[in-house]
């Protein structure tokens, strides 16, 4: 075999076993790549199962609409042929009665009523009460249903049934931006008393920006001291920066409740110092002020550490050179030192902002009515209202916002310039 290879490639460099060296190197390289892939595979599977797959399920849940389609199949089939004008004919009413009887037998009528109630407030009781009477109804079913409740003679409820009969829908995304379909399937604004989520998204953006800016203002000097102080002092300061990581998040948040509440430590101190009157105590708890203060304290290390990692790499000789060339300390800092810390500023700001946008525990504990963020409403729909589709749509919009922010960061600063450590 080796003689044949040598005959075919008379000038090839051979390995010890007689095979061409190039072929042997390629085989070795492939084997190393397979070993590397095998080592990375468990991590890849873990990331997919715990991160990517749940995101995919969330995005799918936001448009998935199976309840009416699966539990009211005869009604959906009839309404597909309905032109949406007036009210449907007797066949639709008969199909509805049969579907309600079957759904009540299968104990799924509650799910149907709840899904309809998300779109038309107040119809849950209509559907459940009509389902209880459906088994005893006799033709003509149209007259029987309208006699049971006149709402069955209105066009809007049938238009909603027809729209929700689709297996996939964008209604949840519309609801997430305070919009809806009207009876003619046009996209319109929600009623004023139901417009909430655009305001909450704006509040979330504002609080996140405020926390990010405060963390930058407070964290920049600390990071500068960490990078320039002698080792024995900087190590002590680093321990103080890292100390919050060794304390439970719940404990830290509860501590701020003790400090900031109306009868808390800070207000008592201000009253004792006669800075404020007893009846004019500062309202710093259960509002946006408490949320911003507590979140700034919790997220401050995430700003300090990226800044410190960048500042530590800046040679002190740069500042000395600027000073020796005639620049005053402020000008030398602004012109020479600060521009070199931009990657740390960008990385720290991006990290703090993304964490702030999705924060849940601290706003839930100290936010009150005006300090709640979008994550709190996502949790509400997941745990209380059980409107998982709307929760998924809100989460999807939040994810898109974060991705847009990351894209803007890569365009302005560049992901290659991100310094996290």
Residue 405 within any structural domain of the chain: yes
pLDDT band at 49 (very low <50, low <70, confident <90, very high): very high
Residue 381 within any structural domain of the chain: yes
Residues contacting residue 55 through CB under 8 Å, at least 6 positions apart: 399
Concatenated DSSP letters of 153-217: GSHHHHHHHHHHTSSB-SHHHHHHTTEEE-TTS-EEEPPGGG--HHHHHHHHHHHHHHHHHHHHH
pLDDT tens for 90-114 read: 999 999 999 999 999 999 999 999 9
Angle at 338 between CA 333 and CA 339, to 5 degrees: 125
Q: Cα separation of 64 and 53, whole Å?
A: 16
- Compute how many other C-beta atoms are within 10 angstroms of the C-beta atom of residue 101: 16
pTM of the model: 0.85
Q: What are phi and psi of 80, to 5 degrees?
A: -60, -25
Mean pLDDT of the chain: 88
208 vs 20 pLDDT, higher one: 208
Residue 190 within any structural domain of the chain: no
Residue 24 within any structural domain of the chain: yes
Q: Where are the alpha helices (DSSP H) in 64-140?
A: 66-71, 73-79, 90-105, 109-119, 123-134
Q: Are 95 and 74 in contact (CB under 8 A)?
A: yes
Q: Are residues 257 and 346 in the same domain?
A: yes
Q: Cα separation of 394 and 201, whole Å?
A: 9
Q: Are residues 126 and 260 in the same domain?
A: no
Report the pLDDT value the prediction gives residue 407, as an integer from 0 to 100. 86
Does 144 have pLDDT greater than 80?
A: yes
Q: Cα separation of 137 and 129, whole Å?
A: 13
Q: What are phi and psi of 160, to 5 degrees?
A: -65, -40
Q: Which of 63, 79, 111 is the last residue of a domain?
A: 63
3-state secondary structure of 64: strand
Q: Cα separation of 341 and 306, whole Å?
A: 10
Q: Are residues 238 and 165 in the same domain?
A: no
416 vs 20 pLDDT, higher one: 20
Q: Which of 204, 171, 183, 146 is nearest to 67 (CA)?
A: 171
Does 71 have pLDDT greater than 90?
A: yes
Q: Which of 365, 389, 367 is nearest to 378 (CA)?
A: 389
Q: Are residues 83 and 53 in the same domain?
A: no
Q: Cα separation of 252 and 295, whole Å?
A: 10
pLDDT band at 416 (very low <50, low <70, confident <90, very high): low
**What's the helix, strand, coil split of the chain in %, to 5?**
75, 0, 25
pLDDT tens for 260-273 read: 988 889 999 999 99
Q: What is the mean pLDDT of residues 187-215?
A: 93
Q: Are residues 314 and 409 in the same domain?
A: yes
Does 19 have pLDDT greater than 80?
A: no
Residue 150 within any structural domain of the chain: yes
- Number of structural domains the chain divides into: 3
Report the pLDDT value the prediction gives residue 3, as an integer from 0 to 100. 47
Q: Which of 169, 189, 222 is the last residue of a domain?
A: 169
Q: Are residues 86 and 112 in the same domain?
A: yes
Q: Are residues 88 and 161 in the same domain?
A: yes
Q: Are residues 160 and 17 in the same domain?
A: no
C-beta contacts of 243-251 below 8 A and 24+ residues apart: 244/297, 244/298, 244/300, 244/301, 245/301, 249/298, 249/361, 249/362, 250/361, 250/365
Residue 364 within any structural domain of the chain: yes
Q: Are residues 399 and 322 in the same domain?
A: yes
Does 320 have pLDDT greater than 50?
A: yes
Q: Are residues 397 and 263 in the same domain?
A: yes
Q: Which of 16, 45, 63 is the last residue of a domain?
A: 63
3-state secondary structure of 12: coil
Q: Which of 296, 271, 309 is nearest to 215 (CA)?
A: 296
Which domain covers residue 79, as residue numbers? 66-169
3-state secondary structure of 14: strand
Q: Are 351 and 420 in contact (CB under 8 A)?
A: yes
What totals of helices (H) and strands (E) does the chain contain, helices first?
A: 23, 2
Residue 177 within any structural domain of the chain: no
Residue 174 within any structural domain of the chain: no
CATH code where residue 223 lies? 1.10.3720.10
Q: Are residues 130 and 205 in the same domain?
A: no
Q: Are residues 146 and 227 in the same domain?
A: no
Does 223 have pLDDT greater than 80?
A: yes
pLDDT tens for 341-364 read: 988 898 899 999 999 998 898 999
């Amino acid at each position: 075999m080796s003689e044949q290879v040598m005959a075919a490639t008379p000038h090839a460099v051979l390995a010890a076993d007689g095979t061409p060296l190039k072929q042997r190197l390629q085989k070795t390289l492939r084997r190393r790549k397979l070993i590397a892939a095998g080592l990375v595979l468990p991590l890849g599977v873990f990331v997919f199962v715990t991160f990517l797959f749940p995101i995919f399920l969330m995005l799918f849940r936001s448009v998935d609409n199976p309840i009416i389609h699966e539990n009211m199949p005869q009604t959906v089939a009839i309404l597909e042929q309905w032109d949406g004008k007036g009210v449907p004919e007797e066949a639709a009413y008969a199909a509805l009665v049969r579907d309600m009887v079957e759904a009540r037998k299968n104990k799924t009528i509650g799910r149907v009523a709840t899904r309809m109630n998300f779109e038309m407030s107040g119809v849950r009781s209509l559907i459940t009460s009509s389902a209880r009477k459906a088994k005893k109804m006799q033709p003509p079913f149209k007259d029987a249903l309208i006699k049971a409740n006149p709402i069955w003679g209105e066009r809007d409820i049938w238009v909603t049934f027809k729209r929700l009969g689709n297996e996939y829908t964008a209604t949840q995304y519309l609801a997430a931006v305070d919009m809806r379909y009207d009876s003619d399937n046009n996209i319109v604004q929600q009623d004023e008393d139901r417009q909430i989520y655009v305001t909450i998204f704006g509040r979330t953006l504002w609080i996140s920006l405020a926390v990010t800016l405060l963390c930058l203002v407070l964290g920049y000097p600390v990071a500068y001291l960490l990078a320039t102080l002698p080792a024995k002092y900087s190590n002590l300061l680093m321990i103080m920066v890292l100390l919050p990581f060794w304390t439970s998040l719940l404990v830290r948040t509860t501590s701020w409740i003790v400090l900031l509440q109306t009868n808390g430590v800070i207000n008592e101190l201000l009253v004792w110092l006669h800075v404020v009157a007893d009846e004019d105590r500062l309202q710093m708890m259960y509002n946006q002020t408490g949320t911003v203060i507590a979140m700034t304290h919790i997220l401050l290390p995430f700003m300090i550490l990226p800044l410190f990692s960048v500042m530590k790499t800046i040679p002190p000789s740069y500042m000395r050179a600027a000073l020796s060339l005639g620049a005053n300390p402020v000008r030398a800092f602004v012109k020479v030192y600060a521009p070199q810390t931009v990657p740390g500023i960008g990385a720290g700001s991006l990290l703090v902002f993304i964490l702030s946008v999705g924060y849940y525990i601290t706003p839930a504990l100290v936010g009150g009515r005006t300090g709640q963020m979008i994550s709190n409403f996502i949790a509400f729909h997941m745990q209380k209202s059980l409107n998982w589709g709307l929760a998924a749509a809100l989460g999807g919009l939040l994810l898109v916002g974060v991705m847009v922010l990351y894209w803007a960061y890569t365009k302005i600063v560049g992901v290659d310039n991100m310094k996290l450590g």
